[in-house]
């Protein structure tokens, strides 16, 4: 199955990984962060354009599929500043603007789980109505990376739209949890800088004994510790210090990338702190791969049925 796509708010290319593995060819990426751009260029041999708000939609090449993990900040703007009937001025509008001009046959968008509940669901409804008004048949769901072979509890709102309104789509319901064992590097290979001090390790052990090994320990803001045979959601910011493998050490950059489904062929060219931020921002590759694969099949099926009816 070959198709062309564009990768907006591209980060380090979680969408890119998924799309290329299904036969996609990226025609344009857009990403504003200099370090993420550096990582993207090193890995995909394609240098992302910068700020999407500065790109004229007419300059974007025709493409089959639009992929975008738009930043979660704008939806609170939708709710708090502009009201729910006006999405102008938000980064979601950039997607709508490009869809309107380029009319790709399919799009897949991703955002945080909270988008689906924001202002009692009205924000998401506004987004869906906007997409439907552009002629798309739209589906959405909240999917968890844990169900797609990754040992990370990461729930995300995924929105899929088809220009072909005959398409019938249902979201994949995989239920394969990945094993933490397959993600973790052996402790002896991990740099000493990732290990907590003996004092911190002892303090944690006084508070918590894990039922699981290996496990990722998570300390919440009130200091309560829980541990599971999977990681809680990686975040671009604070979570790093609160996640400890077996209560002893932080996750390495490679482990974080693996938790998001990036293969080990992904080149780490940025610092650990930048890679940690990038991995925390990324979309779980396995989730997008499963959704995109089913979406492309659903399209092909609708086309096949049309052809059958025509003969
Ligand atoms: C949630 S992250 C998406 C990450 C991506 N899906 C991945 O797998 O790495 C959102 C990204 O949008 C980028 N961004 C924010 N504003 C932007 C803009 N105006 N133009 C282009 N990129 C932007 C951020 O730097 C961030 O990397």
Residue 255 is predicted with a pLDDT of 97
Interior angle at CA 81, CA 76 and CA 83, nearest 5: 90
The residue contributing the CA closest to ligand 1 atom 18 is 51
* Structure confidence by residue, pLDDT tens digits, 277-305: 999 999 999 999 999 999 999 999 999 99
Q: What is the CATH number of the domain that holds 14?
A: 3.40.50.150
Judged against a pLDDT cut of 90, whether residue 152 lies above it is answered with yes
Shared-domain flag, residues 81 and 215: no
Atom of ligand 1 nearest to the CA of 111: 1
Shared-domain flag, residues 149 and 220: no
**Is residue 276 in a domain?**
no
Atom of ligand 1 nearest to the CA of 12: 9
* Structure confidence by residue, pLDDT tens digits, 108-139: 999 999 888 887 888 889 899 999 999 999 99
72 in active site: yes
Among 72, 168, 232, 270, the one annotated catalytic:
72
Residue 183 is predicted with a pLDDT of 96
Whole-number Å distance between alpha carbons of 190 and 195? 8
Q: For the residues 246-268, what does the mean pLDDT come to?
A: 97
Shared-domain flag, residues 66 and 201: no
**Is residue 162 in a domain?**
yes
| Strand pairing class (3-8; 65-68) | parallel
Shared-domain flag, residues 72 and 161: yes
* Ligand 1 center to 11 CA (angstroms): 5
Shared-domain flag, residues 35 and 147: yes
Shared-domain flag, residues 110 and 194: no
Shared-domain flag, residues 161 and 187: no
DSSP code, position 31:
-
* Ligand 1 center to 33 CA (angstroms): 7
Question: Which residue range forms the structural domain that includes residue 210?
Answer: 180-269
Shared-domain flag, residues 209 and 299: no
Q: For the residues 198-211, what does the mean pLDDT come to?
A: 93
Residue 26 is predicted with a pLDDT of 98
Q: The pTM is what?
A: 0.94
Inter-residue contact 116 to 76 (CB < 8 Å): no
Q: Is the CB of 7 under 6 A from ligand 1?
A: no
Shared-domain flag, residues 189 and 62: no
Whole-number Å distance between alpha carbons of 251 and 230? 12
Higher pLDDT: 240 or 30? It is 30
DSSP 156-194: EEEEEEESSTT---------BPPPGGGTPPPGGGS-GGG
Q: Is the CB of 147 under 6 A from ligand 1?
A: no
Whole-number Å distance between alpha carbons of 100 and 58? 11
Shared-domain flag, residues 243 and 259: yes
**Is residue 216 in a domain?**
yes
Say how many domains are in the chain.
2
């Amino acid at each position: 199955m070959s198709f062309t796509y564009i990768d907006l708010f591209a980060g380090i290319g979680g969408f890119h990984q998924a799309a290329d593995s299904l036969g996609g060819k990226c025609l344009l990426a857009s990403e504003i962060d200099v370090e993420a751009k550096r990582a993207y260029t090193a890995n995909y041999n394609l240098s992302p354009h910068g700020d999407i708000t500065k790109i004229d939609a007419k300059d974007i090449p025709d493409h089959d599929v639009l992929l975008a993990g738009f930043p979660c900040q704008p939806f609170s703007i939708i709710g708090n500043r502009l009201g729910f009937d006006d999405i102008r001025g938000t980064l979601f509008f950039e997607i709508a603007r490009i869809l309107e001009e380029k009319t790709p046959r399919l799009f897949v968008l991703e955002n945080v789980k909270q988008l689906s509940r924001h202002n009692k669901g009205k924000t998401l409804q506004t987004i869906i109505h906007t997409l439907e008004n552009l002629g798309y048949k739209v589906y959405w769901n909240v999917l968890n990376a844990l169900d797609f072979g990754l040992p990370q509890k990461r729930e995300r709102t995924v929105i899929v739209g088809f220009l072909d309104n005959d398409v019938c789509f249902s979201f994949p319901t995989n239920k394969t949890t990945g094993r933490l064992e397959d993600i973790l590097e052996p402790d002896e290979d991990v740099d000493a800088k990732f290990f907590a001090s003996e004092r911190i390790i002892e303090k944690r052990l006084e508070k918590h004994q894990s039922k699981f090994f290996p496990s990722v320990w998570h300390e919440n803001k009130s200091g309560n510790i829980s541990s599971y045979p999977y990681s809680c959601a990686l975040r671009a910011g604070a979570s790093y210090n609160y996640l400890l493998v077996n209560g002893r050490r932080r996750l390495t950059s490679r482990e974080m990338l693996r938790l998001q489904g990036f293969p080990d062929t992904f080149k780490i060219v940025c610092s650990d702190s930048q890679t940690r931020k990038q991995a925390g921002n990324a979309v779980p590759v396995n989730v997008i791969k499963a959704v995109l694969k089913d979406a492309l099949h659903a399209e092909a099926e609708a086309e096949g049925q049309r052809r059958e009816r025509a003969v």
